Structure 1
Amino acid sequence: MNENLFASFATPTILGLPAAVPIILFPSLLIPTSKYLINNRLITTQQWLIQLTLKQMMAVHNAKGRTWSLMLISLITFIATTNLLGLLPHSFTPTTQLSMNLAMAIPLWAGTVATGFRLKAKNTLAHLLPQGTPTPLIPMLIIIETISLLIQPMALAVRLTANITAGHLLMHLIGAATLALSTINLLTTPVTFTILALLTILEIAVALIQAYVFTLLVSLYLHDNT
């Protein structure tokens, strides 16, 4: 019987109902909060990481762009925790679903474009036609720039989906190879297990980096429109 490699990416169900919504909401329960004036080390470290990330992303923004601070830090926290939880056994990674990533990318991209048209419509429209363009090329360049603008949310979603899915598939294949070789040749098992452990560390890094890249690109789109 052949195992379906993509079975782990199917949306799980509970009592016949899709469990995607509880899974998406679950990472927010793992973020520690404090009701006291004095925080513990975990919350202090969390706040330091949030402030460091926010400072790095907001350094290039003006006052209008910094109003998106809460949105961007919530976005990177959500994607990072969702990606990391997906590495646990018998878990599900919502960010491997292109539909969910598009549901995040399209509204955020549309919000940055709408902000650009509201704050500086002339500059936003000027991006569709580079300065000094020969007159015969103007219609073609406007079409190309418009297509490149409209494809931005698709690029955001596909990049996140492809990177997370590829890593999960590779871990699945190497894990299956480790189990198969353990019954055939015990000498090769430590080698494949070491590769699997190193790949898991790499996937943890990829999960955090992809969350940062997704949020950083949204931040750059916002910077171009504010």
Structure 2
Amino acid sequence: MMTNFFDQFMSPSFLGIPLLPLALTLPWLLFPTPTPRWINNRLLTLQSQFINRFTSQLFSSINPGGHKWALLLTSLMVFLLTLNMLGLLPYTFTPTTQLSLNMGIAIPLWLATVLIGLRNQPTASLGHLLPEGTPTPLIPVLIIIETISLLIRPLALGVRLTANLTAGHLLMQLIATGAFVLTPTMPVVAALTSVVLLLLSMLEVAVAMIQAYVFVLLISLYLQENV
């Protein structure tokens, strides 16, 4: 049994070699590779339909100038979704529970959307820092507040993904430990706890999918403001 519940969030290593690059590379090896055949198999067809539906839904409200991001954001969605789902398997490691990884993804993408806005429409991008019709005495205060709100966006992106996945995994570990400890003394309570664990596991599957979607959706909203 674990001596520390937070050991499951430590970056794994083998003989001093970090396994995080392997954990980030493995999901890409699990995806089916498209073939030159006229008719694909069921798995490829399902994957293509999911990607097409997600891309069309995500970019339906974005100007054509932002459609260049379709490949990047769709790949990011599939990547985060696969990492989150694989992390729910026993004896696995979830890279998206590491704040450093999530911030490493969030900051460059957020900064890219800001720079695109400053390059293509600098007036409109700077205009977001000051709402229309603001009284003159409040202008300096609102500019400072909106600037802080802009700079805190990547932090909110990374922390949201990390906190939700970490809290879910930790709660599952606590309930599983409780069911294991209660089995010899109170089997009925242990059975009820196991049912709660099963329901929580189903909830965590939904959370894993929703958090990946929310992460990409917020980036698309930031992109929409700057294109």
Amino acid in structure 2 at the alignment position of 1:83: N
Specify the alignment match of 2:111 in structure 1. 110
CA RMSD of aligned residues (A): 1.1
Specify the alignment match of 2:132 in structure 1. 131
CA shift for structure 1 position 191: 1.1
CA shift for structure 1 position 34: 2.8
- Per-residue CA distance 1:17-44 (angstroms, 9 max, x = gap): 1111111111111111232332111111
Pairs within 5 Å for 1:29-178: 29-35=29-35, 36-178=37-179
Q: For 1:188, what is the secondary structure of its paired residue?
A: helix
The change in CA–CA distance for 1:139 and 1:17 in structure 2 (over 3 A counts) is: same
- Farther off after superposition, 208-217 or 29-38: 29-38
- Per-residue CA distance 1:59-112 (angstroms, 9 max, x = gap): 001111111000110111110000001111111001001110000000000010
Counterpart-to-counterpart distance in 1, 2:48 and 2:156: 31
Amino acid in structure 1 at the alignment position of 2:135: P
CA shift for structure 1 position 2: 7.5
Amino acid in structure 2 at the alignment position of 1:63: P
CA shift for structure 1 position 181: 1.2
Gaps of 5+ in 1: none
Specify the alignment match of 1:10 in structure 2. 10
Which stretches of structure 1, 4 residues or more, deviate above 2 A after TM superposition? none
Counterpart-to-counterpart distance in 2, 1:124 and 1:214: 22
CA shift for structure 1 position 45: 0.7
Specify the alignment match of 2:200 in structure 1. 199
Counterpart-to-counterpart distance in 2, 1:95 and 1:57: 22
- Farther off after superposition, 159-168 or 32-41: 32-41
Counterpart-to-counterpart distance in 2, 1:191 and 1:137: 57
CA shift for structure 1 position 198: 0.9
Count of residues in Structure 1 that have an aligned counterpart in Structure 2: 226
CA shift for structure 1 position 190: 2.0
Give the TM-score, by structure 1 length. 0.97
CA shift for structure 1 position 215: 0.2
Counterpart-to-counterpart distance in 2, 1:216 and 1:196: 29
Specify the alignment match of 2:20 in structure 1. 20
Amino acid in structure 1 at the alignment position of 2:213: Y
Amino acid in structure 2 at the alignment position of 1:14: F
Counterpart-to-counterpart distance in 1, 2:51 and 2:133: 43
Specify the alignment match of 1:211 in structure 2. 212
Identity over the aligned pairs, expressed in percent?
53
Give the TM-score, by structure 2 length. 0.97
Counterpart-to-counterpart distance in 2, 1:119 and 1:198: 48
Gaps of 5+ in 2: none
Counterpart-to-counterpart distance in 1, 2:34 and 2:72: 21
- Farther off after superposition, 125-134 or 153-162: 125-134
Q: For 1:37, what is the secondary structure of its paired residue?
A: coil
Amino acid in structure 1 at the alignment position of 2:42: R
Amino acid in structure 2 at the alignment position of 1:11: S
Amino acid in structure 1 at the alignment position of 2:20: A
Specify the alignment match of 1:221 in structure 2. 222
Counterpart-to-counterpart distance in 2, 1:34 and 1:106: 32
